[in-house]
Amino acid sequence: MTHILITRPEGKGAALAEQLEQAGYQASLFPVLNINYLTPSSTQLSPLINADKIIFISQDAVKALAQLKPDINIKAQFYAVGQQTADTIYELFGVRAATPKQFDSEGVLALKSLAQVDGSNIVLVKGQGGRPDIAKVLKERGAFLNNCVVYEREPVPDLTNDWTDHWKSSNVHGIVITSNAAVDAMFTPLAAQQLQWLQQCHFYVASERIAVYLQQQHVSLANIHIAAGASDNAMFTCTNQQGSSMSEQPKSITTENTTSTASSSTSVKNEPASVKNKPANDKQKVSKVASLALLISLVVASGVGYEFYQKLNAGKAQNTIVNELSEQNKLLQQELAALKSSQMSLQQALFNSEEKVSEALTQSTLENQQALKAALQKAQQQGSSLNPQEVTSLQRMAEFKLWAEKDYQGASAVLKRLDGLLSEYPGTIEVRQAIMQDIQTLDSLKPVATEAIYLQLNSVINRIDELVFNAVNLPEETLVIDEHALSEDINDWQQNISNSWNKIVDSFITIRRHEGIAIEPLLTDQERNLINQRIKLNIAQAQDALLSKQASIYFSALSEAKRLTGEYFKQDDDATKSVLNTLSKLEKEQLNFSQEVTLQSTQTVKEWVQ
């Protein structure tokens, strides 16, 4: 039974092993790499917001990014190196990704939608050190590329040299490999004897890139079998096809042995019949000497006949071989003559075009030298290998955040990123000076704290009903002793009559007295409620003016609310003091909703690019 070893990371080879075992193979799982998810900084994740195209190189890249839950432009065009990666993108992000026909870097770069990417913002989501060709080619095509590294591959820590001996004792025939990192993990720590055994194994790889990398480890190309991708079905198809061809070899050898045995047995059976025939004895009486002479002559005649028969057959076979060789010789002579004729034609054509080729090479050399001089001059002006479109794209992004979003801090952050990019190249001092002036201007601007002011106004509204009005309450009436009270004693009847008369007189005119300060007019409950509602209405008007960025209405409404509070409520009350203090602070806010800012770097960058 053919033994196949699967080296994919843990959790990724079980389905392939099951397929191989159902097909009659012995499959073993032996991960040689661990996948560790990384946590990129917010600066590294920020390009995902404005990305035009996002490329994922593996399922691990999709899963690692999904765990971070970053802000990502779902309307961007997504790409996946393989179909399983595309399925994972749809599962985690709900977006259909484009996939190439050939599941590798070359296949992705061959997509028509990635042919013209000049000025596009592209994010490559990948592992540490993976897929450098994609980034290089897209940059050469003029794309503004950002690498987002979200995971790394590390060799299994407990991997030792003993595993090769274990594989050898287990009679491993083939090994499945899906990355160059797995090749390094397997071949790096081995001794010479172990390497020699490993180099004789059959390898089933996911791409031609891995096959080339295996050849650098001195593995014969005959032992390397390339699958149509890294998916389980592709690896199973490749392994099954090669395994079937390996299992058929012993059958062919057996057939050849059987054929040779049969031919030898046939040759044994074709012995001359004359050896077996014995001379018959006549009834005639002959002498013993004559019989002996006859017997000897018959034996000699039989030997001569057998030898003649063998020579005759050998002569016929020789003639057949000679005829075949002569026919082959004629064919070879004809082909040789055709080759000589073709060689003469090629020599004549080469001789005729030699001068033209020399002239073309001379002209091409001159043109290349001129183009190289022009390119060098332009590079000296703009900085070596600096992409002007990348600089222009960052400058436009800063302008968008300033004018469209009013995000001064965001515009400053983009300009700082542009300054960091230009700092690596010479000839950009003037542009960087203009950028630094713009950064200082933007950092000095403070945006209006609309939300904080709105919440403070809302708290004032909630405290209006708690304020105490500035009205004087009437004091209690002075207690008066009733001098005309009637007595219950009968002897006091004359006094009772006098008291009764005085009561009748007092019922016509009543004089009441109050002790204390002068009395001010009193407010009714309805009037108090109206005053509270007016103050709340003014503060609500200030909130609306704040949201609609109308500074004059805001300050006018606050001034009226403050006036009413100071006029109708007690000034020595703590609640009134708190409200008046808050309104005074809010009147001092600088509501610069339309600050005029001019970026000096805009014109400087345009001149530098030209």
**Contacting residues for 501 by C-beta, under 8 A, at least 6 apart:** none
- Across 333-342, 355-364, 503-512, 542-551, the highest mean pLDDT is recorded for 542-551
Judged by phi (left if over 0) then psi (alpha if -120 to 50, else beta), residue 446 lies in beta
Task: Note whether 238 and 89 are within 8 A (CB).
Answer: no
Does this chain's domain 33-155 share its CATH topology with 447-476+524-594?
no
Domain 33-155: CATH class, spelled out? alpha beta
Q: Residue 285 pLDDT > 80, yes or no? A: no
pTM passes above 0.75: no
Q: Which of 23-27, 486-490, 516-520 has the highest mean pLDDT?
A: 23-27
**Coil, helix or strand at residue 171:** coil
List the 121-127 sheet strands across, edge first.
33-37, 144-155, 121-127, 53-56, 77-80
Write the pLDDT tens digit of every residue in 569-580: 888 888 888 999
What pLDDT, on a 0 to 100 scale, did the predictor assign at position 159?
59
| Span 89-131, pLDDT tens digits | 999 999 999 999 888 888 889 999 999 998 899 999 998 877 7
The torsion angles phi and psi of 228, rounded to 5 degrees, stand at -85, 15
Tally DSSP H helices, then E strands, for the chain: 22, 10
pLDDT of residue 158: 64
Domain locations in the chain? 3-32+158-245, 33-155, 388-445+600-609, 447-476+524-594, 479-512
pLDDT at position 251: 39
Question: What number is the average pLDDT over the span 118-145?
Answer: 88
State yes or no: pLDDT of 493 exceeds 50: yes
Q: How would residue 132 be classed by pLDDT, with cut points 50, 70 and 90?
A: confident
Contacts of 322 (CB under 8 A, 6+ apart): none
Query: Residue 48: what pLDDT?
Result: 92
Q: Hey, is 415 helix, strand or coil?
A: helix
- 203, 239 contact by CB (below 8 A): no
The H-or-E segment that residue 434 falls in is helix 429-444
Q: Say yes or no to pLDDT of 287 above 60.
A: no
Instruction: Please name the CATH architecture into which domain 447-476+524-594 falls.
Output: Up-down Bundle (1.20)
Residue of 161 and 411 predicted with greater confidence: 411
- Lookup: tokens for 387: 């992409």
CB–CB of 7/174 below 8 Å? no
Note the pLDDT tens digit of each residue in 415-471.
888 888 887 777 788 888 888 888 888 877 776 778 888 888 888 889 888 888 876
Share of the chain above pLDDT 70, in %: 74
Average pLDDT over residues 553-567: 89
Name the class of domain 3-32+158-245: alpha beta
The string of pLDDT tens digits covering residues 220-258 is 898 999 988 778 888 888 888 876 655 544 433 333 343
Count other C-beta atoms under 10 Å from residue 536's C-beta. Answer: 16
